Structure 1
Amino acid sequence: MLSIDELDVELLKLLERDARQGVASLSTTLGISRNTVQSRIRRLEEGGLIAGYRPQVDLAKAGLVVQAFLALETEQGSLTTIAEAVTRIPQVIEVHTVTGREDLLVRVATATQPELLELIEGIVSFAGVIHSTTWLTLTAPLPHRTAPALAEMAKGTGWGRSTAQRGGGAG
């Protein structure tokens, strides 16, 4: 596990909002040197905390207006096979193994409800699927985010060795 402090969290918040920001912009916003920003980003990348930089795609604007979550209950011993099978389906955009009655939570996106029905029928026909439940997504009041959870974890850690600190001046 990579140890992070409040400066790392502030940097991650900015990158989460817009990963295209340059080092100079991040440096100015945070009030720290470009070298500090570069070394922090490098450490977060090398430590695996920053796993990549991806665009935030609006699936509805791309025509994939029907989004849903499928919860799949699987037979004992078939979880891995089913998980591998659903990851090969183009309309599947996330797969999680979960605890509880269901074993897999699968997020899908299609252009129409008939396409969704066809997709669900295909998935539930896999050998080893016992039961499925589907929830249609109506809105996403909170899309994926990480910064608040990281901020809570790093609370009270300060800004490490950095001399600048928001609201605190030099330290």
Structure 2
Amino acid sequence: MVQITPKDEELIALLKVDSREPVASLARKLGLSRTTVQDRLKRLEETGVIAAYSIRLSRELDQGGMRAFVTFSVEPRRQIEVGRQLARFPQLETLHTVSGKFDLIAQVKTGSSEAMDRLIDEIGQIPGITRIETSVILSTKLDRR
């Protein structure tokens, strides 16, 4: 088990805001030396705490199209196969198992409402899916990813 210190948590929080922030700037904000921050980053990367760095597009660039949360009810013992079938759709940005009245929830993005309709129709043909419910995302009020 990897030990994460409060300073590690602060460092991770700063990286979530801007993963490209220079080490010197991170060190100043954390009150640590540059070398100490570099060592912490290396340890967090090597132990898998930091699995990858990524980008997030600006809202203006990523605004086109339509996003929705799509929930699925799945026949018992078919969830793994349904998950594999869903993974082949590039429009699915995330797919999660959840507790409650649904078994899976996905965030999907398409270019238009017509494309969303076609996608939902195609997904509905997957054997094992018994119910689909779609909630279109109107706007995002907070995104801390």
TM-score by length of 2: 0.91
CA deviation string 1:77-119 (max 9, x = no partner): 1101111111111111000011122111011001100000000
SS at match of 1:135: strand
Greater RCO structure (CA 8 Å; 6+ sep): 1
Moved >4 Å (runs of 4+): none
RMSD of equivalent CA atoms: 1.6
Q: Distance in 2 between matches of 1:59 and 1:79?
A: 33
Q: Distance in 1 between matches of 2:29 and 2:14?
A: 9
User: 1:35: how far off?
Assistant: 1.4
Match of 1:10 in 2: 10
1:39 counterpart letter in structure 2? D
Match of 2:31 in 1: 31
Describe how 1:112-131 pairs up with structure 2 within 5 A.
112-131=112-131
SS at match of 1:38: helix
User: 1:130: how far off?
Assistant: 0.3
Instruction: Tell me, yes or no, if structure 1 residue 75 matches structure 2 residue 75.
Output: yes
TM-score by length of 1: 0.78
Instruction: Tell me, yes or no, if structure 1 residue 136 matches structure 2 residue 136.
Output: yes
SS at match of 1:61: helix
Work out which of the two has the higher radius of gyration on C-alpha atoms and give 1 or 2. Answer: 1
Which blocks of at least 5 consecutive residues in structure 1 are unaligned? Answer: 146-171
Count of residues in correspondence between the two structures:
145
Identity %: 35
